[in-house]
Amino acid sequence: MDVHVGGVMAAESGRAKRTTYRHGDLRNALVEAGLELAREGGPEAVVLRAATRQAGVVPNAAYRHFADRGALLHAVSQAAMARLARTMEAEQAEQAALPPAPDAAAAARARFRAVGTGYLRFAQEEPGLFRTAFHVPGDMTYAADATAAGGSGKTPFELLGAALDGLVENGLLPEDRRPGAEFLAWSAVHGLAALLVDGPLRGLLPSQAHDAGQHVIDMIERGI
């Protein structure tokens, strides 16, 4: 039941064992290994030797694909950000599919709330990846960095912007309040996420965390 990928024998789980001298897709394998490490230990756990070990390769082989450990970590961080984007997109899709077709304003509002709900869900389900996504900041705010985007080609920040635009278009947010609104919404949701992931709210049950998330999003809708 092994799967061949360019000369790689990948057991269905655990580390790969190669049958060929060449690996074939080492760069991706290292990023994937890095994600696995980050999932459990956050950015500090993205250790070059551990990643190569998991890819079934000698440590210095990584240097064919990354300048140094920082470059690997950066790639992993971008990949984690892309996963965040995908979770947000999935949440939006789910919300859109669920109930009987509502009016356009209700749909825009649901899309906005799904942005926050998806963000929080990702933080709770994948705290290690969440922390890793935000570890190498760069400028993901403005740049449309494709490697940090989800299926729609939008980064998390761009998804939020689009949702806010939807609120304005449907008269749910006055146009003069639009500028800078992403930072207000983002701060509130990101803060709850940080408190849940790292901080003193770490012990909350998933249902409690969900409720807290809905309350925070309520506050944003009122206060934005």
Interface pick for a copy of itself out of 14, 21, 180, 205 (rule CB under 8 A): 180
Binding of a copy of itself by 100 (CB under 8 A) = no
Instruction: Determine the Cα–Cα distance for residues 132 and 35; give it in Å rounded to an integer.
Output: 9
Binding of a copy of itself by 88 (CB under 8 A) = no
Q: Phi first, then psi: what are they for 74, rounded to 5°? A: -60, -45
Binding of a copy of itself by 187 (CB under 8 A) = yes
Interface residue list for DNA (CB under 7 A): 7, 18, 20-24, 26, 47-50, 57-65, 68-70
Distinct helix (H) and strand (E) counts, the chain: 8, 3
Contact 178, 168 (CB under 8 A): yes
Partner interacting with residue 202 (select from a copy of itself, DNA, none; CB below 5-8 Å by kind): a copy of itself
Instruction: Determine the Cα–Cα distance for residues 38 and 44; give it in Å rounded to an integer.
Output: 8
Binding of a copy of itself by 144 (CB under 8 A) = no
Binding of a copy of itself by 201 (CB under 8 A) = yes
Handedness of CA 112, 205, 188, 118 (dihedral sign): negative
Partner interacting with residue 9 (select from a copy of itself, DNA, none; CB below 5-8 Å by kind): none
Whichever of 32 and 198 has its CB closer to a copy of itself, that residue is 198
